[in-house]
Structure 1
């Protein structure tokens, strides 16, 4: 975390600065797309986004720990401990020695983020300890409310809006879901190695696909037209959720929306890469070329500079930091 970002956000306590720095490192290491987009935010808002990402990543790493010593009971115990620390921190207590929780609690307080969003998130993390597949898209969408939609809702107060927040909220939630569906499609093979299938069973079955067929393809490296058809259907489903989310972009604070627009474009580029690669996600990870990421980021930077220039020339009715509903202003990929 650069000192400039922390200074801009008014974070002066040494322990808090160290906690936010830890979150930034997690974001930079594990969420390249997300991190790149976050760089386009005003400096004072970046620490909050890093805290939200860092906490989500911390919980996800507990759930996905497949080390030889990480038996399910130990992962469940670690998640329970994290939940206790979170609840204590959100009610004003000290989260012991977990800097990620400390930064998250500070962000939640600064931006008045609903505690229920974190409760719902933890519920979905617990589901990952025992649930290995989802029968229908409705079942998966219920899971994604806690694992993805609430991430969009957590971000909304940080980004700021030019409408009332309730109007923007469904679109923010949809964008979180679209990002996660993109990750599910990209990571089909890796998730299968962990014993999980996030693509709905009814969608797969409609194309004659089942777990054993996916395992066969993963193991042998061979393709099957039924799998390709199912993955194409999952792509179509995901693009539909992006369309649900798109109207919300124009509702964001003008100096923040280039960040989300950049993330939106880069995540959709992942879908394009998957399609262009013949839906071979069971055999290799789809990666957006570095040149394309740089081009999208450069365009985002130009839009940021234009928005900031316009904001400096605007009237005091432009959004203010920590602004509430329609008040004047403020990648996991």
Structure 2
């Protein structure tokens, strides 16, 4: 029986068996751990979906090195990141991690700037030693690498129609990240981290100790309301950017925009009880948003030109091991 990814891999003209296996691994990781992200990716033209799966799985692989509650291993993250960057530069072999194999191919195929990968890896390393951020500006510096550059990495695949889309993509990445921070306050505390700025905690009279007590006090509730409103302003700034993308990309991003934004609604619906509960958008709601969007996306693919892949897409598929070696 054909795999779910086969149609997309065929459409993307990815024929190398090692690459196909790596991308299928990424798809499974995305489907299991990033359901909203995966649902949105399925609205893209098939030939673009594998690259989105690769970006998600690569980010998750890095995250797992430092987010494990049992055995975090920042030294392994450092080695993994250095091996990937060396392979990207043609100075070393492809790492064994299939997410890295697929991301290496994705980065080359879409000419994703190296600095975006470096910024992401730097932020992941920050999680190994930094447990809090004094100001929102400090948190923004972290989010640039952990979230904003994810939006920037996605942009070539989404085909922006104007340079103005760049700032909107960066803001949307931050909005998604802040939504997760607000939802996951309790979970992050288990790892010894607080991603809400200390200056905000101080303003509302909230301490780490009061968060760790697990009871949402009136001060904590007001703090969360403040962070939610700040995040909604990010979404408001980012929203016009969806219309700046190619028509075949807009429904994908509209679904992600809507469902990630509704995480904030879900927090409000559980009365801000994020210290002991996980707010979530229900499956029926996700489907109610995604199914009409899927129909619109199908119409968009018929109405607009076929997606033009980068020039390397028409070249014979490279062996990933040979592609990592410097030219003579």
Q: Calculate the TM-score normalised by the size of structure 1.
A: 0.89
* 1:135-193 Cα shifts (integer Å, max 9, x gaps): 11000001100000000000000111222xx3211111111100000000010000011
Stretch deviating more after TM superposition (274-283 or 175-184): 274-283
Match of 1:201 among 192, 198, 201: 198
Match of 2:25 among 22, 25, 29: 22
For 1:89 and 1:107, locate their aligned partners in 2 and report how far apart those are by CA, in whole Å.
13
For 1:22 and 1:319, locate their aligned partners in 2 and report how far apart those are by CA, in whole Å.
24
Mapping for residues 266-277 of structure 1, pairs under 5 Å: 266-277=259-270
Is the contact made by 1:94 and 1:102 (CA closer than 8 Å) also made in structure 2? no
Mapping for residues 114-193 of structure 1, pairs under 5 Å: 114-163=113-162, 166-193=163-190
**Residue 319 of structure 1, CA deviation:** 5.9
Report the counterpart of residue 326 of structure 1 in structure 2.
none
Does residue 48 in structure 1 map to residue 82 in structure 2?
no
* 1:235-277 Cα shifts (integer Å, max 9, x gaps): 0011011112112111101001100110000001111111121
**Residue 90 of structure 1, CA deviation:** 1.0
For 1:14 and 1:150, locate their aligned partners in 2 and report how far apart those are by CA, in whole Å.
29
Q: Calculate the TM-score normalised by the size of structure 2.
A: 0.91
Report the counterpart of residue 320 of structure 2 in structure 1.
none
Give every structure 1 segment of 4 or more consecutive aligned residues whose post-TM-superposition deviation is greater than 2 Å: 318-323
* 1:281-307 Cα shifts (integer Å, max 9, x gaps): 112000112111110001211220221
For 1:122 and 1:19, locate their aligned partners in 2 and report how far apart those are by CA, in whole Å.
20
Is the contact made by 1:160 and 1:322 (CA closer than 8 Å) also made in structure 2? no
Report the counterpart of residue 110 of structure 1 in structure 2.
109
Report the counterpart of residue 320 of structure 1 in structure 2.
308
Mapping for residues 197-236 of structure 1, pairs under 5 Å: 197-216=194-213, 218=214, 222-236=215-229
For 1:162 and 1:211, locate their aligned partners in 2 and report how far apart those are by CA, in whole Å.
45
Is the contact made by 2:216 and 2:272 (CA closer than 8 Å) also made in structure 1? no
Q: Which runs of 5+ in 1 are unaligned?
A: 313-317, 324-333
The secondary structure found in structure 2 opposite 1:255 is helix
Report the counterpart of residue 247 of structure 2 in structure 1.
254
* 1:26-49 Cα shifts (integer Å, max 9, x gaps): 111110110111111111000000
> In the comparison of the two structures, how many residue pairs are matched?
307
* 1:42-97 Cα shifts (integer Å, max 9, x gaps): 11000000011110000001111121xx26xxx12211111122112211342232
Q: Which runs of 5+ in 2 are unaligned?
A: 312-328
Q: Cα RMSD (Å) of the superposition?
A: 1.4
Match of 1:85 among 69, 83, 86: 83
